[in-house]
Structure 1
Amino acid sequence: MNFRKATAADLPAIVGMLADDELGRLREDLRDPLPAAYTEAFNRIDRDPNQELTVVANETGALIGTLQLTFIPYLTYRGGIRAQIEAVRIRKDQRGQGLGREMFLWAIERAKSRGAHLLQLTTDKNRPDAIRFYESLGFKASHEGMKLHFP
């Protein structure tokens, strides 16, 4: 697998992967052309040195996965850096082959290389298989997450 920084040309494939599950299809808009909001978001992410939007390609160069790492500097832990992993997706026809584990192992090493002292994630409680997968990688449900959505 080849990990690289995402480009604007990758957006349709990325959004396609984000929309290709039961929860994603409710919140993503996979029209052609993509709504401008995706390009605007990509540009904000691309300019921010604390964001890494990554794509994963197979040996032929086809995109088969994506993830986003956010590096959060803060004062606790003696001015530590916390890494957050989001939007991990594998193309539907590539699932079940161990690629998710490879992507997470890569992300863990990437977070360490950027000086993070921990890698965190949130997951929907309605995804028990995902929770078991994260636990198999050593993640622990140490905190109760809460969200406040705005209209």
Structure 2
Amino acid sequence: MTVICVLTTGDQEFSVRRARRADVPHLVALLADDPLGRGRETAELSAYEAAFAEIDASDEQLLVCLTTSSDEVVGTMQLTFTRGLSHGGGLRGQLEAVRVHSSYRDRGLGRLFVQWAIDECRGRGCELVQLTSDRSRVDAHRFYERLGFVDSHRGLKLAAPAH
């Protein structure tokens, strides 16, 4: 296990490390542990494992775990690095699926975790760090705004037709 970064809050240390295949059930549990995820994260574990393999093999993706000193997974986040023509051909970092287990919230850990991600994006040369958050996540919006994110765009989705 290679630790990317150690985050300290209060008297506890947490590690940020690259996710491993064995972490997939824990990551899915984190994704499902909220009102939106409960109804959405229902696929067989094999579908998540296949997605993990593709994400893990990509140089443009970084899926990380936030762990306790005993390697208990208490958070996750996926970073995607995309080059575009806008912003002078700049690289942008997209933060997705940011989760911290409910029993570890309100300790400043989420702030440290997202700040680590911002620093990681900047260290890779990203001109812009962005994320999306469902409109119903009002508390999350306040959290991100306190970190300096600005509500600047309107997002739209189109669900793919069922096969």
TM-score bracket for this pair, using the shorter chain length: over 0.9
How does 1:2-17 map onto structure 2 within 5 Å? 2-17=15-30
Residues 43-82 of structure 1 mapped to structure 2, 5 A cutoff:
43-82=53-92
CA distance in 1, matches of 2:73, 2:111: 17
SS at match of 1:146: coil
Shift of 1:147: 1.1
Q: Residue type matched to 2:46 in 1?
A: A
1:21 counterpart (34, 39, 44): 34
The residue identity in structure 1 corresponding to 2:39 is L
**Residue 115 of structure 1: aligned partner:** 125
- Aligned partners of 1:53 and 1:144: how far apart in 2? 26
- Match of 2:78, SS state, is strand
- 2:157 is equivalent to residue 147 of structure 1: yes
Structure-2 residue corresponding to 1:133: 143
Q: Secondary structure at the match of 1:24?
A: helix
Counting matched residue pairs gives 148
Deviation at 1:148, TM superposition (A): 1.1
Q: Which protein is richer in strand relative to its size? A: 2
The sequence identity of aligned pairs, in percent, is 47
The amino acid across from 2:110 in the alignment is G
Name the TM-score, length of structure 1 as normaliser. 0.94
Tell me the distance in 1 between the aligned counterparts of 2:54 and 2:32. Answer: 20
- Equivalents in 2 of 1:129, 1:93: separation in Å? 16
CA displacement, residues 67-119 of structure 1 (integer Å, 9 cap, x when unaligned): 00000111222211011000011112212211110111100000001110111
TM superposition outliers: structure 1 runs of 4+ over 4 Å: none
- When structure 1 is superposed on structure 2, of 11-20 and 96-105 the one drifting more is 96-105
SS of 1:11's partner is helix
Indicate the SS of the match to 2:116.
helix
RMSD: 1.1
Code of the residue aligned with 2:78 in structure 1: it is: Q
CA–CA distance in structure 2, aligned partners of residues 66 and 82 of structure 1: 20
* Preserved CA contact (<8 Å) 2:92 2:129: yes
2:95 aligned partner: 85
Q: Distance in 2 between matches of 1:133 and 1:50?
A: 26
